[in-house]
Amino acid sequence: MTAEPSPLVETLQELHRKYAPVAIGKVADYIPELSKADPSWFGIAVVAVDGRTFEVGDSRRPFSIQSVSKPFVFGLALEDHGRERVLSKVGVEPSGEAFNSIVLDEATNRPFNPMVNAGAIATTDLVDGAGPAARLGRLLEMYRRYTGREVHVDAATFLSERATGHRNRAIAHLMLNFGMIEHRVDETLELYFQQCAAMVDCRDLAVMAATLANGGVNPITGERALEADYVKDLLSVMLSCGSYDFAGEWTYRIGLPAKSGVGGGLLAVVPGVAGIAVFSPPLDPRGNSVRGVLVCRELSERHRLHILEPGGAGRSLAEAIGRGSAPDATAREGGRP
């Protein structure tokens, strides 16, 4: 292994320096616990499909996964029920609406897609298990497979959202009215709030994204997290719906399957190459991390990551990862919390 540091480490350090001073965006406060986040927290991580990890800034600071959980729970629902049943309860159409919109498809009564809250609550409802503890256990076990470590639910975040989640309750009851979810509405809502309050860090998100980039197998542990056949299901909805009413613009400019969350996490998948994650709590009006979008956009442009790029998307990123050494070249700026 060459002693020269990977050029990717230098790129990540440069992007971190460049975007750290950005002062736009607003930390989410509609879930009171989230308002405690420091707007200056900023981490970036890239995990290659061979498991090598590159990280800068606050890449090990824990935060709640929030909506970044949604594609993964969609995957669990697909494994539990298969495509046909899952798609009878949730569509795969971009809604063009905000993540928390209270709208269902008028023709089918289904929520538009599993990435908006309505569709996510419908997929959480499909998570099998004999009672709340067993269902939560299966969710946490899924997170463990993707991250390679035990993941826990933060009680304060869970209670904070449970106490204030009236809009999600309204959405769930509307879906109950149309038979899109079962009668265990409160149980499913609690599970959804717990799913969103699971604690991860930026590196975890990059490993989760890398697992999808690697066909469903965690590149660090070698464990399969998702049936290979469903990987493209997750990536498709992440590409078309992962950034809500910014999804068209995201696909046009960045061109990577991705998912954001109001805790400030954002992950993007470069299929066959790597997972990218950014953590930075200030959000744009659509609920996407401001620095997260900026970093992904610049990484995509510099390395021609758009999946429709002629000549092989991500090749230059693969080259940047391949040259130089890692993980001993892992960049570490900023400290652990």
Q: Is 287 in the site for ligand GLN (CB under 6 A)?
A: yes
Catalytic site residue 19?
no
Catalytic site residue 9?
no
Note if the bond before 281 is cis, omega within 30 degrees.
Answer: no
Answer for which of 13, 101, 117, 240 binds ligand GLN (CB under 6 A) is 117
Residue 100 vs 280, nearer CB to ligand GLN:
100
Q: Is 71 in the site for ligand GLN (CB under 6 A)?
A: no
Residue 8 vs 269, nearer CB to ligand GLN:
269
Answer for which of 59, 66, 113, 240 binds ligand GLN (CB under 6 A) is 66
Residue 124 vs 147, nearer CB to ligand GLN:
124
Query: Distance (Å, rounded) from C-alpha 48 to C-alpha 54?
Result: 8
Q: Is 260 helix (H, G, I), strand (E, B) or coil?
A: strand
E-strand spans in the chain?
A: 43-48, 53-57, 63-64, 199-200, 258-260, 265-270, 274-279
What are the phi and psi torsion angles at 316 (to 5°)? -70, -30
Query: Distance (Å, rounded) from C-alpha 48 to C-alpha 60?
Result: 17
Answer for which of 254, 262, 268, 269 binds ligand GLN (CB under 6 A) is 262
Choosing from 244, 269, 293, 295, the catalytic residue is 244
Q: Report in angstroms how near the CB of residue 192 gets to ligand GLN at its nearest.
A: 7
Q: Report in angstroms how near the CB of residue 76 gets to ligand GLN at its nearest.
A: 17
Instruction: Select from 93, 94, 77, 97 the least CA-distant residue to 85.
Output: 77
- Residue with tokens 């209670």, as numbered in its chain: 159
Q: Report in angstroms how near the CB of residue 84 gets to ligand GLN at its nearest.
A: 27
Catalytic site residue 259?
no
Q: Is 95 in the site for ligand GLN (CB under 6 A)?
A: no
**Residue 124, H or E segment:** helix 117-125
Q: Is 67 in the site for ligand GLN (CB under 6 A)?
A: yes
Binding string to ligand GLN for residues 154 to 193, with x set by CB under 6 A, is what? Answer: -------x------x-------------------------
Residue 16 vs 89, nearer CB to ligand GLN:
89
Choosing from 6, 64, 67, 240, the catalytic residue is 67
Would strands 199-200 and 63-64 be described as parallel, antiparallel, or unpaired? antiparallel
Q: Is 99 in the site for ligand GLN (CB under 6 A)?
A: yes
Residues 293-332 that bind ligand GLN (CB under 6 A): none
Q: How many residues bind ligand GLN (CB under 6 A)?
A: 11
Choosing from 19, 146, 192, 230, the catalytic residue is 192
Q: Report in angstroms how near the CB of residue 261 gets to ligand GLN at its nearest.
A: 4
- How many CB atoms neighbour CB 71 within 10 A? 29
Long-range contacts, stretch 270-273, CB < 8 angstroms, 24+ apart: 270/213, 270/305, 270/313, 270/314, 270/317, 271/212, 271/213, 271/235, 271/307, 271/313, 271/314, 272/49, 272/213, 272/214, 272/314, 273/48, 273/49, 273/213, 273/313, 273/314, 273/317, 273/318, 273/321
Answer for which of 13, 53, 95, 100 binds ligand GLN (CB under 6 A) is 100
Structure tokens belonging to residue 235: 């990536």
Catalytic residue IDs: 67, 70, 192, 244, 262
Residues in contact with ligand GLN by CB under 6 A are 66-67, 99-100, 117, 161, 168, 196, 261-262, 287
